[in-house]
Structure 1
Amino acid sequence: MKRVVFIFLCFLMYADTGFSQEALIQNISSRNNLSLNGRWNYIVDPYENGFYDYRREAYDQSKSKTGGYYDDKRNVNKSELIEYDFDHSPTLKVPADWNSQEEKLSLYEGTVWYRKLFTAKPISGKRYVLYFAAANYEAHVYLNGKKLGMHKGGFTPFQFEVTNLLKAGENSVVVKVDNTRKKEEIPTNSTDWWNYGGLTRDVFLAELPETYIHDYKVQLAKGNQNLIEGYVQLNGAKKAQKVTVNIPELALKFSVATDENGYALIKTPVKKLSYWSPENPKLYEVQIASETDAVNDKIGFRTIVTSGKDILLNGKSIFLRGISMHDENPLISGRPRSEGDLRMLLTWAKELNCNFVRLAHYPHNEEMMRLADEMGLLVWAEVPVYWTIAWTNPDTYKNAQSQLGDLITRDKNRASVIIWSVGNETPLSDPRHKFMGNLVDHARSLDNTRLVAAALELHRDGNRVIVDDVLGEKLDLASFNEYAGWYWGGTPKEITKYFFDIKYQKPVVVTEFGGDALAGFHADADTRYSEEYQESLYQNQFKILGGIDGLRGMTPWILVDFRSPRRPHPIYQEFWNRKGLISETGKKKKAFFTLKDYYDSVSKTFNQTKASK
């Protein structure tokens, strides 16, 4: 099944362009890469003049395939008409979004053209891949005037082989990035986060041998702490090779032979393994070498399963002390630009005594997963199937499935990732059940070693809070969002009358609760937007959540205040969602310490309970 999926991805075609994009290369950032980060010239193009002619026909679909901005033309004589000029255009930093760099682009949604000149020295016998860690949302990519392809999805990586187009000397890469929201896309046109546009993550040119290690998975088998399973996939003409896997610290070295498709299964027993966990984030150096290539990775080994109402990490019951997070730096406007930004966010989570983070509502930076591996934080990873999707549109489903597949492909070797989430707060309907159920099946077909979940909605009948969603039958967790004390249920002190009626005999993880508080605004516990209101809300949430049989974790909403166009209140919000436990200036609100005290208590109690069993 894995081989079938891999081959399908390798030959996935973008029907509207006629260009293909290969499946993602595993751990490509570790290769010999030329960084294309830095300053890129840009042109704002709200009418898309650089893409369409006056009859709204795409230049790159015309017979000549010229006329667009991607030609990156310069005037060669004084009579030539060219109505753009990258050389004299302003610049934007990459990686970063355009909204936070230019005030005039703060609320802009539409097309921006990026251009980067770079010098290459291609070597005969090598292959070259142009890689984008993310571009929001629809990106059309051109090298030296030739179209490489198109990618949809604002948070997943994509790449194109450019071996035959790369020139010795100066090269021009042009990218049309369009972050226009549309109801048939993933996410849909209504979200509760800022729609940051642009080349938001790393861009580089990777150098590879003619036949290279394209993909691999090296993980513990499902529920088996003494068996490593996985596969290796080669790409190139010499597909049948001997591949050696070496984990020096374990004195474990073995070889497999790839078949005519370049594929080989990995399966070997392992002993004396130090299992990865939040308390022991042990990573092993894993070396994979073929006859023509070699790649190194740092991989942790652990198992994650459910048993009744328990979540078992390495065979032991665990309580997920979590927090939800956005991929946003509150202190420096915009998407995170560096490892330092990401490490700051995870460090705040650790200060809460978290062992778990929900990276909502879309795939976060790949470096975040590697830092979570290093720092000992379990991860809920999610795709942006958010609110009301175009459930009956087959192209929308293909898009969602593709983004889910890219997320799993990218992060399948990260021990920290224990949950694939297929969506958030999606309303009940038969088309939705089919759409979401198929995503669950797809996730399991790609990776059976992790849990599959979604953040479900709930319903109320009097004081009874009901969790009963047909999708829940297919999920590993009873996971849901609830906002008693903020969107319903009265004031915080009034919510203790509610109790939960959860249909499923599964571990319960409450994926969201909380309320807004403006840092520094103090009043009594009944005054909305005050720190005291938020503090009281958390205190009373713990009372009602404590009554749930099988409660095994939570990820309150949210670690840090984040920008949102849906939040315009001029006094308390100013286009910020204020549900963060930390303000946009880094100030910890009173509820931060309330949650920390709760997690300190839960950690102590849960560990004592485990020790007594």
Structure 2
Amino acid sequence: MKTTSLLILLLFCLGLQAQPNFITNVDHRTNTSLGGKWKYIIDQYSTGAIGFSPLYENKSPKDKTDRVEYSFDDAQSLWVPGSWNSQKDELYYYEGSMWFRKTFDYQPKLKNSRVFIYVGAANYKTQYSFNGKKLGEHEGGFTPFSFEVTDLIREKDNFVILGVNNRREPDYIPGMVTDWYNHGGITRDVKLIEVPQTFIDDFTVSLNKESLTAKEKAIDGNVVLNGKDFPADATVTIPELGISQTVKIDAEGEGTFSLKTKKLELWSPENPKLYTINISAGEDQLTDEVGFRTIETKGKQILLNGQPIFLRGISIHDENPIRRDRANSVDDAKLLLGWAKELGCNFARLAHYPHQENMVRQADKMGILLWEELPLYWGIDWKSDQVLENAKRQYAEIIHRDKNRAATIIWSIANETSPGTDRNRFLGAVADYVRELDSTRLLSAACKKDLAVDGHPDNDYLVSDPIAEKLDVVSFNEYIGWYGGAPEESRKKTFIIAYDKPVIISEFGGGAIQGFHGDSTTRWSEEYQEYMYKENIAMFERVPGLSGMTPWILVDFQSPLRQLPNVQDGWNRKGLVSETGQKKKAFYVLQEYYKTKQTAARK
């Protein structure tokens, strides 16, 4: 894992206007929520000004002769966090710019503290300013960012303004077309973070894989401080294990450690054991809950803690269907992961972009392994070096946030992209970069298959995407019975995997309207979806090296691509659970299959 100081330098070089600081573990620091009602002004032309007056300055007329053509004070309000589309009917399809203002007074909780504003996510490009000073810009709709306001904050009448633009562009990530809803606005928490003048900026910790079979396990890690005057050392303690170590801090504010213990319980889906880890340095203290496990591959197997595991998974969108909004709370995470647990899952694919941090932390607690990915999806400009650097930066941000989560075992670099010279170069560079940042997890991508194979019968499908050379796990999407042929055609299909690696079926499935019934040949009926799941599962059982699957998808979700009246009505209907929380018949097919896989694994 690269050090945080190098990461910050890289992100600065990749285009942020102000020196970035990507604070992690925000809920374990002194923090104040800035959530609630925020004033907003629509900026449909995305000029950043109304009546030629910059919105970030938050102007008011000085006297009766002064001209200011906007007013945050008199503007309407929206809830933050939350997408603007879900809160007002007239904003449902709005794509463009909107400027949000929050005013607050400030009484510091710490003496002589530094103050940062942390934004969990805002979709897609955000300009941020504080008390009338423009500070910078962040690109990416699903990754966190923060900015320091220590020298600008005051006791009374502070205001933070975020100008958020969710307009789709060809050189963005994702590109112009997605099969999910483009929720605009400040979609995740905004917090005021206080830290000492020199603080624990970051830490990394993981189980040393080489010590897995030893009686004494080794927990390796590093600590990174931020400030001007670094203490000579820091202390790392895991009280439950009775271990502690003094860590020498170098001139760059960094130190490494290795803790030894004979008592360690390994984290797994059956035993999601988390340990409290305490780090102190100078005036600062930081606490987190961390699980320890190893993940690797051997031939066609995935090994968790050295033992083969079958990943009983499901794909999930970061959306609460009942609220019809981007998920942003612990309750949202519990709702979605609770359905996954009821299904029998020990694994979930967080599609198609980084999900809220609550999802990852709840998975840590509930024992659900995770696949996380970036929206390198349809229509990416593979030729653009600027887009490539944007992809690297966004991946750095999500790895920086989630690298200490035991649940996360796979970083995925793409979904349903077609091989080609430019695409292969682009994704190869992303794969190398992600592995450089984090070599402790597996790499994968949801690939396509070849429909015709020279010298083979028509029923042979070849999975041979060249990007898989860079990956640890070969994954592919397959929709026989929905986008091609009838479900029973699954019986004739054979898959040839070009690599001696484990295989995950990253997508399969089809649509059904919950409550609509017919025979197994009637499209959109629960019976059709049920029948297709039975046929598809039997087919995938014949795939060489099958190590898991994440069918598409847990819950019906909103998508502008899905407009069939009285059937879709703006919803992708491939969920096993409806948008009202009702389970479809295919839910129980997959649940029963996972019961058999779980029983077989115990023998």
Shorter-chain TM-score: what band?
over 0.9
Tell me the residue number matched to 1:234.
Answer: 225
Deviation at 1:386, TM superposition (A): 0.9
Residue aligning to 2:365: 374
Please tell me whether the aligned partners of residues 249 and 255 of structure 2 are also in contact (alpha carbons under 8 angstroms): yes
Q: Do the aligned residues in 2 keep the contact of 1:14 with 1:20 (CA within 8 Å)?
A: no
Aligned equivalent of 2:592, options 574, 588, 597 = 597
Contact 1:244 1:254 in 2 (8 A): yes
Mark the CA change 1:303 to 1:194 in structure 2 (over 3 Å): closer, same or farther. same
Q: What residue number does 1:552 align with?
A: 547
Provide the residue aligned with 1:480 in structure 2: 476
| Alpha carbons 1:241, 1:262 under 8 Å: kept | no
Distance in 2, Cα, partners of 1:270 & 1:391: 47
**Structure 1 counterpart SS, 2:105:** strand
Equivalence for 1:206: 193
C-alpha separation between the residues in 1 aligned to 2:390 and 2:10?
A: 15
- Normalising by structure 1, report the TM-score: 0.95
Q: Counterpart of 1:7?
A: 6
- Per-residue deviation, 1:52: 7.9
3-state SS, counterpart of residue 598 of structure 2: helix
Give the structure 1 partner of residue 36 of structure 2: 38
For residues 223-248 of structure 1, what are the alpha-carbon distances to aligned partners after superposition, in whole Å with 9 as ceiling and x for unaligned?
A: 54222112110000122431111001
Checking the alignment, whether the CA contact within 8 Å between 2:497 and 2:544 is kept in structure 1 is: no
Report the 3-state secondary structure (helix = DSSP H, G, I; strand = E; otherwise coil) of the residue aligned with 2:538: helix
Aligned residue in 2 for 1:497: 492
Q: Which amino acid aligns with 1:372?
A: A
The correspondence of residues 241-390 of structure 1 with structure 2, limited to 5 A, is 241-390=232-381
Deviates more, 1:263-272 or 1:476-485: 263-272
Aligned partner of 1:103 in structure 2 is 89
Q: Does 1:129 align with 2:116?
A: yes
Q: Which residue of 2 aligns with 1:515?
A: 510
Tell me the equivalent position of 1:166.
153
- CA distance, structure 2, for counterparts of residue 51 and residue 389 of structure 1: 30
Structure 1, residues 452-502: CA drift from partner, whole Å, max 9, x if none? 1111111212211110011101100011111111111x1112221111011
**CA 1:594–1:8 in 2, change beyond 3 Å: closer, same or farther?**
closer
Alpha carbons 1:223, 1:305 under 8 Å: kept? no
Is the CA contact (8 Å cut-off) linking 1:130 and 1:205 kept in structure 2?
A: yes
In structure 1, list runs of 5 or more residues that go unmatched.
55-66, 609-613
Give the root-mean-square deviation of aligned CA atoms. Answer: 1.5
Q: Which runs of no fewer than 5 residues in structure 2 stay unpaired?
A: 453-457
Whether the 8 Å CA contact 1:14–1:150 is kept in 2: the answer is no
Offset at residue 183 of structure 1 (A): 1.2
Deviations along 1:254-283, one digit per CA (max 9) or x if unpaired, are 111110000111223332210000000000
* Partner SS, residue 390 of structure 2: helix
Q: CA deviation at 1:96?
A: 0.5
Q: Which amino acid aligns with 1:107?
A: Y
Tell me the distance in 2 between the aligned counterparts of 1:592 and 1:475: 31
SS in 1 for 2:292: coil
Q: After TM superposition, give the deviation of residue 581 of structure 1 in Å.
A: 0.2
Matched residue count = 593
TM-score of the two chains, using structure 2 as the length reference? 0.96
Per-residue deviation, 1:38: 0.3
Q: Show the counterpart of 1:463.
A: 459
Contact 1:561 1:578 (C-alpha < 8 Å) held by counterparts: yes
The DSSP-based 3-state class of the residue aligned with 2:223 is: strand
- Alignment partners' CA distance in 2, 1:86 and 1:391: 40
Residue identity over aligned pairs, in percent, reads: 48
The one of 573, 581, 591 aligned to 1:578: 573
Identify the residue that residue 74 of structure 1 maps to in structure 2: 60
Residue number among 124, 127, 141 corresponding to 1:154 in the alignment: 141
Deviation (angstroms), 1:49 = 4.4
Task: Please say if 1:93 is aligned against 2:79.
Answer: yes
Q: Which residue is equivalent to 1:59?
A: none
CA distance in 2, matches of 1:533, 1:107: 32
Deviation for aligned residue 1:292: 2.2
Alignment-mate amino acid for residue 432 of structure 2: D
1: CA distance, partners of 2:238 / 2:435? 27
**Equivalent position of 1:191 in the other structure:** 178
Helix, strand or coil: the match of 1:371? Answer: helix
Contact between 1:34 and 1:205, CA under 8 Å: does it hold in 2?
yes
- 8 Å Cα contact 1:309/1:550 also seen in 2: yes
SS of the aligned residue for 2:118 comes to strand
Report the secondary structure of 1:19's partner residue: coil
Structure 2: distance between partners of 1:11 and 1:145: 28
Displacement after TM superposition at 1:178 (Å): 0.1
Q: Which letter maps to 1:361?
A: H
Deviation at 1:102, TM superposition (A): 0.8
The answer to whether the 8 A contact 1:99-1:105 is kept is yes
1:169 aligned counterpart, secondary structure: coil
Deviation track 1:334-390 (CA, whole Å, cap 9, x = no partner) reads 112421111011000000010000000000000111100001100001111112311
Quick one: structure 1 residues 414 and 327, their matched pair in 2 at CA, closer, same or farther if it must change by over 3 Å? same
Aligned to 2:534: 539
Q: Residue 455 of structure 2 corresponds to which residue in structure 1?
A: none
In 2, the alpha carbon distance for the partners of 1:371 and 1:208 equals 25
* Alignment pair present for 1:432 and 2:430: no
The answer to whether the 8 Å contact 1:222/1:448 transfers is: no
Report the AA paired with residue 43 of structure 1.
Answer: I
Shift of 1:53: 7.7
Q: Look up the equivalent residue of 2:203 and give its one-letter code.
A: Y
Distance 1:545 1:330, change over 3 A: same
Instruction: Work out whether residues 14 and 390 of structure 2, in 8 Å CA contact, stay in contact via their aligned partners in 1.
Output: no
Is 2:26 aligned against 1:28?
Answer: yes
Letter in 1 for 2:195: L
